Amino acid sequence: MYYVTKRIEISASHRLELDYPSKCTNLHGHNWIITVHCRAEKLDSNGMVTDFTHIKTAVMDRLDHAYLNDVVPFNPTAENLARWICEQVPNCYRVDVQESEGNTAAYEI
């Protein structure tokens, strides 16, 4: 099995829809650290699992300096974003989304 990991830093804002009082329902932003993990049993014709540039494009071009509520059709929690990012990247099996120091969510297939 072959593995690649890409760490990406983005800045983005969001507001959460919650069923309890929280300051996170207000518009706010984070300097997010997103780690994308991909794997494949065989390399593609270029000798890669997934091109690092394609991973970066799938994440940064859509999320960096964005208002996440306008980008995704769901409540943009770190957990939901991790799942969505995993679905955007070929061969992805895990995504870690760190929204602040000490607060990280992960999604794994």
**Per-residue confidence (pLDDT) for residue 20, from 0 to 100:** 97
The separation between the first and the last C-alpha atoms of the chain, rounded to the nearest angstrom, is 16
pLDDT in tens, 21-65: 999 999 999 999 999 999 999 999 999 999 999 999 999 999 999
Give CA–CA dist 78/74, Å, rounded: 11
pLDDT in tens, 9-23: 999 999 999 999 999
Specify whether domain 2-108 bears CATH 3.20.20.70: no
